[in-house]
Structure 1
Amino acid sequence: MASRLEQKSVASAGVIWSIPPETLSEILVRCLDAKTPRKRPKYASNSQAASAVELSSHNFPLYLTEISSWWRQVALSTPALWTSVQLSLTDRSAQQNSRILGLTDFWLKRGIKGKLEIDVACFFPFPYDSSGEAASLGHLVDRYSVDLRLICLTGLPDVVLQRIHQTLAHNSFDNVEEIELEASTLEVWSTRFDALETLPCLRKVCLGTQDTIHDTVLHDLKLLFLPWHQLTHFCVSNPTAPSICLDILRQCPQLEFVKLSLIAMSFKDAPSLTLPNLCRLQLYMFPAVFDPFLDTLHLPSLYDLNLSLSSLPPWNPLHSDFWRRHAAQLRQLALQTPAMPVPFSRVFHTMSQTSSLTLKTRMTPELLGRWCREAEPLLPALTHLDLQIIYPLDISLLNCVRMILAFLTERRNPPPRSTLDWLLSKPARLERVELHDATDYHMRSCELIGMDGSLAVAMEIEFDRIRALKTGGLDLQWEIDGKDILVSRDAPVGSEMDA
């Protein structure tokens, strides 16, 4: 006689197999939508790193076809499962790349026509004959040209991108809304690229190379013949001339997101430029052109600003007309700068609505302590914080940890106060904090190992308090050389670092 547990399992299985096909189809689609989307892969310098991005989540529809013949039938007849395909081609898979591209053909045949998305990342750490992949990938894009909505081809050898350029120029891509192309070198972008000019639905364009950004290698935007007037997103990774950037931006009234890198090249003051819809701006530039370029812009919808300054002299936002116009409306700010000539507290006074802050500048414990005392009243809306920290040899790690703990505790669980000032300010509760420790890993390990017994116990107590905040719901990471030192609850700090 079957046990109650076995009977219950059989009954549950019966319910699963009796689900109507249209209901099962909807469940499968919702499961696919619920999966965390894979990050667009970047160029990997070796096969092992490349294989790390070959996540199984994007093969989810294939797994559904292996459960049973009925599930296979339902999955294959559900177009929404097959609309987007993501593939990684590596040197290790070179013998199977044609087979992989054949799988893509099988996949896209079943997708929603006019909504297909193809995302192919190539990882080739050394030169090789890629003419076969170029032809296969070109034929694949040819075949589905009228039905593609998104084309993302990253880490491409130049020969592949040149083939894709020809494909784009000689086919009708009436439904393409987003295109992301990454070449091996800037050579491809140094010639006329007009394949995208006539695409009627194109809204988002991202162009880049695997090369490291150099001051002397310019991406001439005049060689791009894009439908500028209809673009909402535009990204270019290599440096461009500031004056040419402004000329291009004047042709883009619909822009909502821009990512550019500007070379250190002087240019005359330009007429002001208003982009009414631009809400997200990312710039990598040299301070010499920073203020002249930014002061030209008027962005009434801007809320997300990401600025990376590559060198000295330091930028003073309080002297910037752009900052005075836009600081009060910022909700997200990411700032990478070698130094700031004024105290952060004076800058924070101008950012009352900022809820997400990323600072990529090495903060010493002294500066971190200033954070603990000043950040609460000056950033009342702050909920997400990302900091890079470092401490010199003459500063105790224990004191550094205690200052961080004091700040986190204050903002995570604000204590009740009776003062009118607190009632009016009511700082927001921290939800996510990421600390990237730039201190030399070996130096920190030596300090932890060399602690006497009482200091080691005190250190572990402080870390336990920080972990308690993590347990209480704070999304908290403290990384040293890519390792989160708060992950383990049982191992002592010294052994964690030795591992």
Structure 2
Amino acid sequence: MASFDDKSTLAATRARISQLDADMQKLQRVMHSLLAERKKCQQVLADYTYPILTLPSEITSEIFLYFLPPYPQRPSFWGYQSPSFLLRICRRWRDVALTTPALWSGVQLTIDPQRHVRQSRLLDMWLQRSRNCPLSIQLGYSEELMPSEDEEDEDEEGFVESLRSHAMRWQEMDISLPLDNLRKITGSMPLLRRLTIGVDRWDTETPLALFTDAPALKHVVLRSSFTPFIVALPWSQLTTLTLEGLFANEAVEMLRQTSMLQDLTVTIHNGQPPTYFSIPPLPLRSLKLHYYRPGADEYHQLFKALQLPMLQTLSVHEEFLGPNPVASLFALRPNGYPQEIQILGARTSRETYAAAFPLASLSVYVTPYVVI
């Protein structure tokens, strides 16, 4: 038989259960009330239209264009200030971005050998979104991600095909690929006006003509020790040319073919025996003539061959000027001298130059590496 204490404990427990049931019912009523209020709040948010979303699509599209770097600057493939970023905000913005071809008219992409298949597909999709817009593209490897020779053909085939299929719309291009892949990019390029080429590996002895059907091409930058004896460009129509890492005889070969050139920047390698160079007069307005390493006699031979009767701006390492820098400068333009003269690596005093060229805007630096 249960004791009196046991009966008392059981009664208290039953009473506690009843109290808990009552409290739970109260909480359930509160929970139902909160859920109902939450549903109303959600409906308010669902019914609300943000002011930015009430704008006409044309206005939103224009705002998007101001969000990106102005054309022909190239937005990055991913991340902030990429049109891809706009696709992630909301469905309406995605629809507007995908129907604004100008957003996709420029792109810069660094090829990653580990992701090249996906990158190639995305690049092709990107260019298709640009529809009929002119294109500004930068494509190449970073030094850290440079593939081996065995990997290159597989890595780049998709990229080359994407570029080639849209060549009619190229306007400004910066391409750093092995020559074997550049040779596959052929066809008419009627809009191409500015071209930068970096060739990572020379693998041919047969002269190759590139970008010959590009009547609007005027501005070319050649990087990575470009070799004119192997690759020919439409030199005669160029007005602006930058050459990086050529030997003097290679630079001369190009200059003999650039009868329309007005702006030239060239950096010369040394290592060749001095020779006589012959270059016809050029209509240059601006010349920047630099070197990688001092101590080469061919520098002066190259400078002596230049005839620039219309030159207005000159930046030159003094080593190009030979033993008599002032005389070399006068010989460069017999009918006067440039309005702006910058001398780098100077051993001759500024006073000497100032006395010889009193009307020129003159900058003289002892260091060979100051470039303005």
> TM-score, normalised to structure 1's length?
0.54
2:171 is matched with: 149
1:316 Cα deviation from its structure 2 partner: 5.1
Is 1:180 aligned to residue 196 of structure 2?
yes
1:372-413 deviation digits (Å, cap 9, x = unpaired) = xxxxxxxxxxxxxx969xxxxxxxxxxxxxxxxxxxxxxxxx
1:361 Cα deviation from its structure 2 partner: 0.9
Between the two proteins, the alignment pairs up a number of residues equal to 314
1:228 is matched with: 235
1:438 is matched with: none
Provide the rounded CA distance (Å) in 1 between the counterparts of 2:258 and 2:127.
33
Q: Matches of residues 20-419 of structure 1 in structure 2 within 5 Å?
A: 20-33=56-69, 37=73, 56=79, 59-90=81-112, 94-111=113-130, 113=132, 115-123=134-142, 124-125=145-146, 127=148, 129-154=151-176, 156=177, 158=178, 161-168=179-186, 171-185=187-201, 187-188=202-203, 190-209=205-224, 220-242=227-249, 245-260=251-266, 261=268, 263=270, 264-268=272-276, 270=278, 273-284=280-291, 288-308=297-317, 317-322=325-330, 325=333, 328-330=338-340, 333=342, 335-337=343-345, 340-348=346-354, 350=357, 352=359, 354=361, 359=365, 361=367
Provide the rounded CA distance (Å) in 2 between the counterparts of 1:111 and 1:202.
22
1:96-148 deviation digits (Å, cap 9, x = unpaired) = 22111211112111225261122112133562512222211221122212222
1:18 Cα deviation from its structure 2 partner: 2.9
1:279-314 deviation digits (Å, cap 9, x = unpaired) = 3434437552334332433435544434347x7997
Provide the rounded CA distance (Å) in 2 between the counterparts of 1:345 and 1:38.
45
* Counterpart contact for 1:114–1:149, Cα < 8 Å: no
Q: Secondary structure at the match of 1:255?
A: coil
1:86 Cα deviation from its structure 2 partner: 0.5
Provide the rounded CA distance (Å) in 2 between the counterparts of 1:142 and 1:36.
19
Provide the rounded CA distance (Å) in 1 between the counterparts of 2:155 and 2:147.
15
Question: 1:302 and 1:102, CA in 2 relative to 1: closer, same or farther beyond 3 A?
Answer: farther
* Counterpart contact for 1:166–1:195, Cα < 8 Å: no
Provide the rounded CA distance (Å) in 2 between the counterparts of 1:36 and 1:175.
13
Question: 1:208 and 1:111, CA in 2 relative to 1: closer, same or farther beyond 3 A?
Answer: same
Equivalent position amino acid for 1:200 in 2: P
Question: 1:191 and 1:207, CA in 2 relative to 1: closer, same or farther beyond 3 A?
Answer: farther
- Provide the alpha-carbon RMSD of the alignment: 3.8
* Counterpart contact for 1:262–1:283, Cα < 8 Å: no
Equivalent position amino acid for 1:252 in 2: T
Q: Secondary structure at the match of 1:320?
A: helix
Q: Which runs of 5+ in 1 are unaligned?
A: 1-12, 40-52, 214-218, 363-385, 389-433, 435-499
Provide the rounded CA distance (Å) in 2 between the counterparts of 1:28 and 1:69.
15
1:165 Cα deviation from its structure 2 partner: 0.7
Report the identity percentage.
21
* Counterpart contact for 1:98–1:136, Cα < 8 Å: yes
Provide the rounded CA distance (Å) in 1 between the counterparts of 2:65 and 2:310.
35
Answer with 344-353 or 194-203: which moved more.
Answer: 344-353
Equivalent position amino acid for 1:70 in 2: R
* Counterpart contact for 2:241–2:264, Cα < 8 Å: yes
1:412 is matched with: none
* Counterpart contact for 2:304–2:332, Cα < 8 Å: no
Question: 1:129 and 1:294, CA in 2 relative to 1: closer, same or farther beyond 3 A?
Answer: same
Q: Secondary structure at the match of 1:22?
A: helix
Q: Secondary structure at the match of 1:258?
A: strand
> TM-score, normalised to structure 2's length?
0.69
* Counterpart contact for 2:193–2:216, Cα < 8 Å: yes
Q: Which runs of 5+ in 2 are unaligned?
A: 1-48
